[in-house]
């Protein structure tokens, strides 16, 4: 005996799908078929959210630390003294370095007297050229102070960015 089937369906326009909601045969009445179930969105675990948030905060903290350590100008000022030397040196990054001997004396240890020395890096080649050709003269140099040194900027935390005056004393 052949059975005749009749499907009752419903068109869902939002999902562009046809759902079978019932089925009838010769001997059985219409029965409800379960709807196709929507995929359940998984709730993120608290541990994953915590680790992601922790990683983002660590990266932001590292960026802030690097900025304040190496790129934030901590202070600036003027130093005056006799230029001892100006040199270009470095293994990978060639930077301009110099030393200014200031007037006066200081003592780090008892019984030893030494002069004040200001070691610095030079920002531009133009300033370096003026310093290197006038070694031994009295200079007033404007500098910026950073918390740390980066290899491409120089070997010191002090960066001379301009010459205020030069005298032959």
- Assess whether 47 and 8 both reside in one domain: no
Which of 75-84, 106-115, 136-145 is the least confident region?
A: 106-115
Model confidence pLDDT, tens digit, residues 5-28: 555 555 555 565 655 555 555 555
- Residues 158 and 81 placed together within one structural domain of the fold: yes
Cα distances (Å, whole numbers) of residue 64 to 31, 72, 74, 95, 165: 66, 10, 14, 26, 36
Distance CA 78, CA 15 (A): 73
Cβ(102)–Cβ(81) under 8 Å?
A: yes
Domain holding 55, by residue range, is 42-71
Rounded distance between C-alpha atoms, residue 81 and residue 97, angstroms: 15
pLDDT at 46 over 60: yes
Q: Are residues 98 and 154 in the same domain?
A: yes
CA distance 159 to 75: 11
- Answer whether residue 32 shows pLDDT above 70: no
Residue 83 belongs to domain with CATH number: 2.40.50
- Please give the tally of structural domains in the chain: 3
In the structure encoding, which two tokens stand for residue 134, read together?
């006038």
């Amino acid at each position: 005996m052949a059975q005749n089937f009749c499907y009752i369906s419903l068109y869902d326009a939002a999902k562009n799908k046809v759902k079978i909601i019932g089925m009838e045969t010769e001997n059985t009445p219409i029965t409800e078929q379960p709807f196709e179930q929507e995929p359940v969105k998984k709730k993120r675990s608290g541990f994953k959210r915590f680790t992601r948030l922790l990683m983002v905060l660590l990266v932001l903290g590292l960026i802030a630390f690097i900025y304040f350590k190496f790129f934030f100008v901590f202070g600036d000022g003027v130093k005056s003294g006799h230029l001892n030397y100006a040199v270009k040196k470095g293994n990978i990054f060639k930077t301009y370095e110099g030393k200014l001997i200031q007037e006066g004396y200081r003592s780090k240890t008892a019984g030893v007297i030494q002069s004040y020395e200001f070691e610095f890096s030079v920002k531009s080649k133009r300033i370096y050229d003026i310093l290197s050709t006038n070694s031994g003269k009295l200079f007033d140099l404007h500098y910026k102070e950073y918390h740390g040194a980066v290899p491409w900027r120089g070997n010191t935390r002090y960066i001379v960015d301009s010459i205020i005056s030069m005298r032959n004393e």
